[in-house]
Amino acid sequence: MAIYLDHAATSPLRPEVLEAMMPYLTTHHGNASSIHASGRRARQGLDEARETIAGLIGAKPREIVFTSGGTEADNLALKGVAWAASARGRHIITSSVEHKAVMNTCAMLERRGFEVTYLPVDRYGRVDPSELAAAITERTILVSVMAANNEVGTLQPIAEIGAVCRAHNVPFHTDAVQAAAFGPPTPDAWQATLIALSAHKLGGPIGIGALYVRQGTALLPQMQGGAQERQRRAGTENVAAAVGFATAMRASYRETPNTALRDRLIGALTGLTGVQLTGHPTERLPNSASFVIEGIEGGDLVAALDLEGIEASTGSACTTGSVEPSHVLLAMGIDEQLAHGSLRLTLGPETTAADVERTISVVEGCVARLRASAPQVAASA
């Protein structure tokens, strides 16, 4: 059995989630919009899932819009608000360390005439709320800053950012896809207008997410079709997945994350020559250990670890072999060469102390082997 340390990419489906979904995948067929009994039964599953999620985050059920995942939720938030508010202003503020779902949506909006400000971050990847305040103009229609970073695990001072937005009366969107795996996002405490969520980061199924939309927010739907999700997201509701999402969220908030194993991993690996922690030392996701390692390509190390039975990541689940170093690491001021050597290990509830000890020794061995193959050595072979 491989040691799976890539929970930030996706997490294993919880057994109770599968169990809760099974009826809706087998006997409880039915379209939640149908009039008949099967339809009503599906509708009930969907309504209860929505209520559960709303209840867990302190929102009203009508403020939860189910989507196909975190990426769609981010797209709906940004484009939905941008198009709805474009007559009032065309300025959006985000950070320079966002997930590509936000980054590339902003880039698309820029091509369509919007102006986007990318706030810088400190060496830990954090936005300074006073810089946000300075960037807001009367034409600013949306601020989008993630709650926790997917690559380096850094938590943003999200309540302070929300307070700045509230003080300037600008809608605030936050991508909480990673953060929501470790405790409920809180729209009121964060003063958030929109929050993007995903099920599969917290033991739910892939293929469903949600956007929290504060009541009264003007949002133009990005999918045309039926009147589902209060006309904010057309398409037949994925009832089984919604039930799984709600079950996973409830289960995940009953757990207290174990940070001791993560801290052991960080302590041991940063003790190796040429290895440094990326992201904030304490203000970070409880399961996230991320590094840059001198003298290696992150992709090569991840392949090497895989062949030793350890499943890790360079920082984002990219299988296309792109050579571009992470925009997150560059924004944090990490040297481009060093940024190529990124490694992200994200633990899960099933991770054991023995897994962590084995990982430490295998990483050490693989890094040594990769460094030994540096070009000047091979040239003499």
The helix, strand and coil proportions of the chain, stated in percent and rounded to the nearest 5, come to: 45, 15, 40
- Tokens 């503020």 appear where? 93
Amino acid symbol at 87: A
- Least distance (Å) from other proteins to the CB of residue 111? 11
- The interface region with other proteins, picked from 47-55, 86-94, 271-279, 293-301 by CB under 8 A, is 293-301
- Tokens 């302190």 appear where? 58
The three-state secondary structure class of 92 is: strand
Residue 1, interface with other proteins (CB under 8 A)?
no
Residues from 96 through 115 that contact other proteins (CB under 8 A): 104
Whether residue 97 contacts residue 331, with contact meaning beta carbons closer than 8 Å, is answered with yes
Q: Using CB under 8 A, which of 130, 236, 273, 373 touches other proteins?
A: 373
Q: Using CB under 8 A, which of 1, 37, 354, 378 touches other proteins?
A: 378
- The interface region with other proteins, picked from 24-32, 259-267, 272-280, 294-302 by CB under 8 A, is 294-302
The neighbouring-strand residues paired with 251 are: none
Residue 87, interface with other proteins (CB under 8 A)?
no
Residue 16, interface with other proteins (CB under 8 A)?
no
Known catalytic residue at 318: yes
Angle at which helix 100-111 crosses helix 70-85, to 10 degrees, equals 30
Whether residue 195 contacts residue 187, with contact meaning beta carbons closer than 8 Å, is answered with yes
| Cβ proximity to other proteins, 270 vs 322, nearer residue | 322
| Cβ proximity to other proteins, 216 vs 321, nearer residue | 321
Alpha carbon of residue 44 to chain centroid: 29
- The interface region with other proteins, picked from 46-54, 58-66, 254-262, 304-312 by CB under 8 A, is 304-312
The three-state secondary structure class of 345 is: strand
- The interface region with other proteins, picked from 62-70, 91-99, 244-252, 295-303 by CB under 8 A, is 295-303
Residue 206, interface with other proteins (CB under 8 A)?
no
Interatomic CA distance for residues 211 and 199, integer angstroms: 12
Q: Using CB under 8 A, which of 129, 299, 341, 348 touches other proteins?
A: 299
Residue 354, interface with other proteins (CB under 8 A)?
no
> Angle CA(350)–CA(353)–CA(359) in degrees, nearest 5?
95
Cβ count within 10 A of residue 151: 25
Q: Which helix (H) or strand (E) holds 134?
A: helix 129-135
| Cβ proximity to other proteins, 92 vs 304, nearer residue | 304
Fill in the DSSP letter of residue 244: H
Residues from 310 through 349 that contact other proteins (CB under 8 A): 319-323
- Of 106, 165, 318, 366, the catalytic one is 318
Residues that are catalytic: 318
Give contact residues for other proteins (rule: CB under 8 A): 104, 297, 299-301, 303-304, 306-307, 319-323, 369-370, 372-373, 375, 378, 381
